[in-house]
Amino acid sequence: MTNQPYQIYVHIPFCKARCGYCAFSSCTNFQLCESYFHKLFEQIESTQITQKTISTIFIGGGTPSSVDVNYLDQLFAKLRQKFDLSTVEEITVECNPESVTTNLLACLKRNGVTRLSFGLQSTNNQTLKAIGRLHTYEQFVDALNLAHQMGFANINADLILGLPERVESFHNSVNTVVNLPLTHVSVYALEVHEGSEIADLVQSFAHTEDDLADMYDYACQTLEEHGFLRYEISNFAKPGRECKHNLGYWQEKRYYGFGPSASGFVGNVRYDNVQTLDEYLVTPTENLLTNQKEISLFEQANESAMLGLRLTQGLSLDTFHQSYNADFFQFFPNANHLLAKGYLAVVDGNVLVPKDKFYVVNSILCELLTI
Ligand code: SF4
C-alpha cells in the first residue's frame, strides 16, 4: 500500500460570500490571499516526502476559482517542483459558476487540470438566492458551456437534497442536470447545523425523513436512467468517469493535505491541519498539523470495510486478505450473518452491500464493524 502513488488535497479557504448552510473553513477577506499562499507554499516546501509520485490532485475549498489566477499558477508550479506529477491521472478543481472566466479556465488548462467540479446545488434561482449562493442557474449553464469550449470534458455538478424548497423543485434540478453535458453528479444531503442562518427556513419546509429518502430514490433512479451510475452513496458517474481522487479516499489510499482544515494520511498516520485560516496564518509551519494519530492495522481493516462498503463495487476480498493478512469473514464475524440475511453479498470476489439495501448501509456497518 505505501509504495503506491499518493494523492494531494489542497484547501483554498476563500469565498466571495458565505452560504447560509456552510460548515467548511473559508473566509471572505481576500486581502489575506497574499499571506495565505505564502504560508501554503512554505508548508508544501517543508513537507517531508514519504512518496514523491502523485496519482491525483484535488484543489477544493472554499472557492478555488475565486482567487487570482497568478496564485493558482504559482501553486501548481510549487507542486510540480516538490512532487513527481509526471504520471498524475486526474487533477480536479472546484469552481463556483459566477467566478468562471476564460482567464481562469486557460490557467487551469495550462496547468494540466483534467476535471472541474461545480457547486451548482439547485437549478432553482429562488432556492439559490435563499441559501446565499451568488450564481443563477443561467450563469452555471454559461460556465459549463465555456468550460466545454475550452476543452474540459470531465465535469461534475453538486446538488443538495433537503434544501428549503419544495420536493418538486429538487426533482426539477435532477431532471435538468441529467440533460446537461456532465460526466458526474454528486447529490449530498443538507446538513443543518443548529443556529445556522438557514435552520429556520429549512424547518419551515418540514421535509420528513421519508420525504428525504424518497427524494434520494428519485435522484438515484433518474440519474441511472440517464447513464449516471451510482458508485458511492452520493456519487453518480458516466461509465469510466468516477472521481479517481475520491475513490482513493474510499480505498484507503494515502494523501497529503495542505491548507486549513485539510486532512492527510501519510504512512500509517492520519492528521488534520489547523482548522481556520486565522490559525493557519499564525501557527509556525512546523506546528500546522494536529490530531496526528497512528492508525493500527486493526483500525485500518475496519476503516477499509467502512469506506469500501459505501462503494457499490464493495471491496475486494483478495486485497483485504493481502493487506491485513486475514479473511474478511473471520475478521468480521457478523459478516456471515449479514450475508445470510442478504445485507451483504459476494460478487466477482468483492464483498458488497446489495443495491436494494444501500439505504441502510449505516446500520449494516454498525453491525459489522468490530470497533
Ligand atoms: S461557496 Fe462553498 S465553501 Fe464557500 S461558503 Fe458557500 S458552501 Fe461554503
59 and 141 inside one domain: yes
Look at residue 255 and tell me if it is in a domain.
no
Last residue of a domain, one of 225, 249, 273: 249
pLDDT at position 1 over 60 = no
Do 52 and 136 belong to one domain? Answer: yes
What is residue 289's DSSP assignment?
E
Domain that holds residue 21: 6-249
Looking at the CA of residue 17, tell me the nearest atom of ligand 1.
5
* Distance between Cα 151 and ligand 1 center (Å): 26
**Mean pLDDT throughout 60-74?**
98
pLDDT at 203: 81
Question: For position 356, what pLDDT does the model report?
Answer: 87
User: 234 and 317: one domain?
Assistant: no
In a domain, 270, yes or no: no
Q: Quick: pLDDT tens for 128-185.
A: 999 999 999 999 999 999 999 999 999 999 999 999 999 999 999 999 999 999 999 9
Confidence of residue 260 (pLDDT cuts 50, 70, 90): very high
**Residue with CA closest to ligand 1 atom 5:** 18
Q: What is the mean pLDDT of residues 191-202?
A: 81
pLDDT band at 302, cuts 50/70/90? very high
Closest atom of ligand 1 to 133 CA is 6
**Backbone phi and psi for residue 128, each to the nearest 5 degrees, phi listed first:** -55, -40
- Does any ligand 1 atom lie closer than 6 A to the CB of residue 62? yes
99 lines ligand 1 (CB under 6 A): no
User: Is the distance from the beta carbon of residue 61 to the nearest atom of ligand 1 less than 6 Å?
Assistant: yes
Q: How far is the CA of 147 from the centre of ligand 1 (A)?
A: 21
Whether the pLDDT of residue 366 is over 90: the answer is yes
Q: Note whether residue 157 is domain-resident.
A: yes
Same domain as 76, residue 152: yes
Give the closest residue (by CA) to ligand 1 atom 6: 19
Please provide the average confidence, as pLDDT, over all residues in the chain: 95
As a whole number, mean pLDDT of residues 336-344 equals: 96
What confidence score (pLDDT) does residue 370 get? Answer: 67
CA torsion 246-248-254-259 (nearest 10°) is -10
Distance between Cα 363 and ligand 1 center (Å): 30
Sign of the torsion angle spanned by Cα atoms 146, 149, 152, 153 = positive
- Ligand 1 atom 2 nearest Cα: 62
Band of pLDDT at residue 367, cut at 50, 70 and 90: very high
The CATH number linked to 36 is 3.80.30.20
Sign of the torsion formed by the C-alpha atoms of 72, 77, 80 and 82: negative
Average pLDDT over residues 321-325: 94
Percentage with pLDDT > 90 across the chain: 88
Same domain, 159 and 92: yes
Same domain, 243 and 326: no
Residue 12 and residue 79 in one domain: yes
What local confidence, expressed as pLDDT, does residue 204 receive? 83
> Nearest to residue 277, comparing CAs of 263, 291, 264, 260?
260
Kindly state if the Cβ of 63 falls inside 6 Å of ligand 1.
Answer: yes
- Pocket perturbation via mutation, ligand 1, pick of 11, 12, 26, 121 by most ligand atoms within 8 A of CB: 26
Per the domain annotation, does 264 fall within a domain?
no
**126 and 63 within one domain:** yes
Q: How far is CA 266 from CA 99, 177, 263, 329, in A?
A: 33, 37, 10, 28
Does residue 325 belong to any structural domain of this protein? yes
221: in domain:
yes
Residue 289 lies in a domain: no
Whole-angstrom Cα distance, residue 111 to residue 125?
33
Is residue 318 domain-shared with residue 193, that is, in the same domain?
no
Cell 482513493, residue?
248
Q: How many domains does the chain have?
A: 2
CB-ligand 1 contact for 15 (6 Å cutoff): yes
Compute the distance between CA of residue 187 and CA of residue 199 in angstroms, rounded to an integer.
Answer: 20
User: Using one digit for the tens of pLDDT, what is the confidence trace for 229-251?
Assistant: 999 999 999 999 999 999 999 99
Residue 272 lies in a domain: no
Return the H-helix or E-strand segment holding 56: strand 54-61
Percent of the chain with pLDDT over 70: 99
2 pLDDT band (50/70/90 cuts)? Answer: low
Do 240 and 306 lie in a common domain? Answer: no
Mean pLDDT of 314-321: 96
Ligand 1 near 22 CB (within 6 A): yes
Range of lowest pLDDT (190-194, 210-214, 263-267): 190-194
Whichever domain contains 306, its CATH number is: 1.10.10.920
Where do we find the cell 429538487?
170
Establish whether residue 25 lines the binding site of ligand 1, counting it when its CB lies within 6 angstroms of any ligand atom: no
Residue 188 Cβ inside 6 Å of ligand 1? The answer reads no
Between residues 214 and 206, which one has the greater pLDDT?
214
Query: Domain end: 249, 277, 312, which one?
Result: 249
Q: What tens digit of pLDDT does each residue of 179-196 get?
A: 999 999 999 999 887 777
Whether residues 31 and 163 share a domain: the answer is yes
Q: Which of 218, 249, 280 corresponds to the end of one domain?
A: 249
pLDDT tens-digit map of 7-43? 999 999 999 999 988 888 899 999 999 999 999 999 9
CB 119 less than 6 A from any atom of ligand 1: yes
Residue 12 is given by DSSP the state E
Residue nearest to atom 8 of ligand 1 (CA): 22
Say yes or no: CB of residue 18 within 6 Å of ligand 1: yes
* pLDDT at position 199: 85
Whether 323 and 228 map to the same domain: the answer is no
Q: How confident is the model at residue 73 (pLDDT cuts 50, 70, 90)?
A: very high
Do 187 and 159 meet the contact criterion of CB atoms below 8 Å apart?
A: yes
Look at ligand 1, atom 7, and give the residue with the nearest C-alpha. 22
- The per-residue pLDDT for 25 is 84
Judge if the beta carbon of residue 24 lies within 6 A of ligand 1: yes
